[in-house]
């Protein structure tokens, strides 16, 4: 059993919601019994090593969240991080997003775009193919993220602009406006 699957298995019993295992969680992140599917397998196939992995279940046990820090795209700022979420209650497809684990402060930055697998809870779903495509898209998104971060570094803010952005973020988007050009 992979470390990812072990993390999930160890987290499950305390929730007590799902009694017979989590086939969809396992398909998404842990792979099958032979470890031949799932995100870790596909990442290995792309020669990407997982440095650290963290998982959490939503309180009702229906949604799994994960962050995989990767030995990929490393720069002075940080290294690539893959955010993942999936549900076993048919409420969402497997979704991943590209992020950066910032070295200096252990912060996580994520792009706003989700990469959703096309099928959810579909019988006959070829999870390996779906995940392989998703990982390729993750790599594209990560490259975009690196460029976007460079743009953010170059954009100086006045204190008034910073306070306005803080307001917009905490206002939850209803009053949100695009960042200054």
Partner 1 sequence: MPVRLLPDASQAYFEPQLPDFEPRTMWSLHNAFTTAAKVMPMSTRLPAIQSVGKMFGMSSEGKRERT
Kindly list the residues in this chain that would bind partner 1 in the complex (CB under 8 A): 54-59, 63, 65, 67, 83, 85, 97, 99, 102, 104-114, 144-145, 148-149, 151-159, 162, 165-166, 168-170, 172-173, 176, 178-179, 181
The DSSP secondary structure of 114-131, one letter per residue, reads -EE-S-SS-TT--HHHHH
* C-alpha gyration radius of the chain: 18
Q: How far is the CB of 118 from partner 1 (least distance, A)?
A: 18
What are residue 94's phi and psi, to 5 degrees? -70, 130
What are residue 161's phi and psi, to 5 degrees? -65, -40
2 or 62, CB closer to partner 1?
62
Q: How far is the CB of 147 from partner 1 (least distance, A)?
A: 10
51 or 128, CB closer to partner 1?
51
Q: How far is the CB of 157 from partner 1 (least distance, A)?
A: 5
51 or 58, CB closer to partner 1?
58
Q: How far is the CB of 123 from partner 1 (least distance, A)?
A: 28
Q: How far is the CB of 166 from partner 1 (least distance, A)?
A: 6
Would you state the structure tokens that stand for residue 153, as one six-digit string? Answer: 């570094």
- Answer for the pair 39, 130: CB distance below 8 angstroms, yes or no: no
Q: How far is the CB of 171 from partner 1 (least distance, A)?
A: 9
Closest C-alpha to 64, from 6, 127, 11: 11
- List residues bridging with 82 in a β-sheet: 68, 98
13 or 181, CB closer to partner 1?
181
36 or 107, CB closer to partner 1?
107
16 or 173, CB closer to partner 1?
173
Residues 6 or more apart in contact with residue 34 via CB below 8 angstroms: none
Q: How far apart are CA 34 and CA 55, in angstroms?
A: 21
């Amino acid at each position: 059993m992979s470390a990812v699957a072990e993390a999930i298995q160890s987290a499950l019993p305390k929730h007590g919601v799902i009694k017979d295992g989590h086939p969809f969680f396992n398909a998404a992140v842990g792979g099958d019994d032979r470890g031949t599917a799932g995100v870790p397998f596909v990442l290995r196939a792309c020669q990407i090593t997982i440095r650290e992995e963290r998982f959490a279940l939503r309180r009702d046990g229906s949604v799994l969240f994960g962050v995989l820090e990767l030995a990929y795209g490393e720069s002075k700022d940080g290294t690539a991080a893959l955010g993942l979420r999936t549900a076993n209650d048919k409420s969402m497809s497997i979704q991943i997003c590209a992020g950066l684990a910032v070295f200096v402060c252990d912060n996580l930055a994520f792009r706003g775009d989700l990469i959703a697998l096309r099928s959810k809870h579909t019988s006959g779903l070829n999870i390996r193919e779906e995940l392989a495509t998703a990982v390729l898209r993750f790599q594209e998104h990560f490259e975009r993220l690196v460029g976007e971060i460079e743009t953010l570094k170059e954009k100086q803010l006045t204190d008034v602009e910073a306070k306005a952005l803080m307001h917009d973020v905490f206002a939850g988007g209803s009053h949100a406006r695009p960042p200054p050009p």
